[in-house]
Amino acid sequence: METGFADTPGGRIFWRRWGSGQHLLICLHGFADTGERFAPLIEGLSAEFSLIAPDLPRHGQSEWSLPHFHPTHVKAILLALLQSAGRPKAHLLGHSWGGRLLMNALPLMTEYAQSAWFVAPGGFEAGARWHSAHMPRFVRKGMLQSLEKQRDIWLSLAKKLQHVGVVSPSAFRMFEANMETPRRRERLIWVYRNLTHFPVKTQLLYSVSTPLFFAIGDHDTIVPPKAVQRFCNKLPQAQFIILKNCNHWPLGRELADVVAREARRLCDGETL
């Protein structure tokens, strides 16, 4: 494994790289994760692949001082990673929150993407209607201020929402873990504040010619497969894939086999 930093206008992005194959796969992790999460994925890919996984802003070893985060920043990160790898194009993959980021950045950089993978993408979970994009600005501002100062109240509310089925047990555990320390709460609030810049809309991808793949584990307890499938079915260039016996983190052999198969198929099509 190689490591390094890529400089972007918003900060220095730490990355990990495995392999040196002809197919480059750039992977964006989910909230409260790091690029290390994708290590099992490269283990399932053949020597034809290399994989780069950054720590996204406010995560892991990356440095990010800006209060805001937009799709143009995601594009800048992806282009910096392409430059560091010396490649003109790559297959792009986003998991969970990373999938939501990729959904909004892809229309800005289709010429650099050989394919785009949205693995258990964020924004479809049961509690998505509570996300900031669906609330008036003054409500969002009040919520964020309250999150900073009234941790116990929010944990109690989240617990009640779990009991009525609005929030899944897995989502509640993630929320609870990210309210434990001031640093984690600060990251949670930063991500939540910037969700308004990353809507989940089919219009974003409808005119994109890049091959799209939506993949989700059949045992995912955070993102409902049927909601992702309905979204995918509205996009003529997209395929929906169920990963058998996988949960919300299906980043191992099952996904690796599918990505490898489709990458080879796309490569053969280009050759023809």
Do 156 and 205 share a domain, yes or no? no
pLDDT value, residue 137: 61
Of residues 96 and 267, the one with the higher pLDDT is 96
Same domain, 207 and 238: yes
Q: Which residues pair with 241 in a beta bridge?
A: 215
Same domain, 214 and 84: yes
Same-domain status, 83 and 135: no
Domain end point (choices 195, 221, 251): 195
Same domain, 180 and 255: no
Q: Among 195, 215, 242, identify where a domain stops.
A: 195
**Does 189 have pLDDT greater than 60?**
yes
Q: What is the pLDDT of residue 66?
A: 95
Position 172 pLDDT exceeds 80: no
Q: Are residues 114 and 221 in the same domain?
A: yes
> Residue 139: what pLDDT?
56
**In a shared domain, residues 39 and 147:** no
Give the model's pLDDT for residue 271: 39
Residue 134: the pLDDT is 56
Q: 37 with 158, same domain?
A: no
* 120 and 55 in a common domain: yes
- Mean pLDDT value of segment 233-244: 96
Could you list the residue range(s) of the whole structural domain that residue 145 is in? 127-195
pLDDT digits (tens, 9 = 90+) for 90-129: 999 999 999 999 999 999 999 999 999 999 999 987 655 4
Q: Does one domain contain both 162 and 219?
A: no
The total number of structural domains in the chain stands at 2
Quick one: 64 and 189 in the same domain?
no
Residues 216 and 166 in one domain: no
The listed range with the strongest mean pLDDT (4-8, 136-140, 150-154) is: 4-8
Is the entire prediction scored with pTM above 0.75? yes
Q: Does residue 63 register a pLDDT over 90?
A: yes
Select from 169, 195, 221 the last residue of a domain: 195
Lowest mean pLDDT among 58-62, 137-141, 215-219: 137-141
Give residue 140's pLDDT: 59
> How much is the pLDDT for 143?
62
The tens digit of pLDDT for each residue in 1-59 reads: 999 999 999 999 999 999 989 899 999 999 999 999 999 998 888 788 999 999 999 99
Question: What average pLDDT score do residues 152-170 get?
Answer: 76
Summarised one tens digit per residue, pLDDT across range 228-238 is 999 999 999 99
pLDDT at position 186, please? 85
Q: Tell me what pLDDT residue 272 has.
A: 31
